[in-house]
Amino acid sequence: MPGPGDAAPPSSDPARDRPPAACCAPADPRIARRFDEIANEWADTDELPEMVDVSARLLDLLRDAPMRRPSVLEFGCGSGGLSVAMLEIGAARVSGVDLSASSVRLAEARAAEAGFGDQAIFRVGNAADAEVTPHDWVILDRVVCCFGEPDRLIERATKLATERIGLTAPESRGWRGWVNRPLWAADNCWDLVRGGCRGYVHDLRRLEERLADAGFRPRLTSRIGLWHVATYERSPSA
């Protein structure tokens, strides 16, 4: 799956300098192709992509990792920026799943370079149906926007997260929602013309209802720009 938590490589084309937020329905081959191209450009440099601001804000909401020492599963891990940062602040181990094989190779290199090669496992796969075991925390960082119908991904996350889910998504409510919908529609037109893939602004009220039905309640909530950033804790009775 795409690596929406990582920045795109420097480019003279402003459109390519945008963070890779938009993508398409599950297993669409254009997702892997697009992010393979981005990751391959980074592979030709001595640098690794830095986390974008949205991912960094989610990391701020997960700063209790040193006390909780969680195992963390990230869907759409990209080049591993957020996953490795979780290890750096105290997670016990991380697993990442991404459709882009080139992004997964970068994630493995990032973990090894940071000294966490033994605590990180990254694999190529579709987050909606990848064979992974339950983890304490599951992270969905700018990945629900990749699914035309996100219920399957949310359901997977609620079944695999024993304690907490971290989520970032384009805000659909209030004035941010009014801005996001035409903005993403315009981006989609441009991306599809260039052979890219589609992104979605989903109804966050509905997504949170699905989380609540599975026993997950909001713990910490924030916004950055036009993005919703939040963590959801499983209630003891769930």
58 forms beta bridges with none
pTM of the shown model: 0.83
Strands 227-234 and 161-170: antiparallel
Domain membership of residue 46 (yes or no) is yes
Output the domain CATH number for residue 120.
3.40.50.150
Q: How far is 99 from 29, CA to CA, in rounded Å? A: 9
Domain membership of residue 6 (yes or no) is no
Which range has the worst mean pLDDT, 5-9, 168-172, 188-192, 217-221? 5-9
Domain membership of residue 171 (yes or no) is yes
Provide the pLDDT confidence category of residue 171 given band limits of 50, 70 and 90. very high
R_g of the chain, CA atoms, integer Å:
16
First to last CA, the chain: 29
Domain membership of residue 109 (yes or no) is yes
Task: Identify whether the C-beta of residue 138 lies closer than 8 Å to the C-beta of residue 119.
Answer: no
- Residue 1: pLDDT above 70? no
Domain membership of residue 1 (yes or no) is no
Q: Specify the higher pLDDT residue, 235 or 1.
A: 235
The mean per-residue pLDDT over the stretch 145-170 comes to 93
Domain membership of residue 224 (yes or no) is yes
Indicate the number of domains in the chain: 1
Q: Quote the pLDDT of residue 121.
A: 96
Domain region containing 208: 14-234
Provide the pLDDT confidence category of residue 144 given band limits of 50, 70 and 90. very high
- Residue 64: pLDDT above 50? yes
Which range has the worst mean pLDDT, 44-48, 87-91, 105-109, 135-139? 44-48
Domain membership of residue 3 (yes or no) is no
Domain membership of residue 7 (yes or no) is no
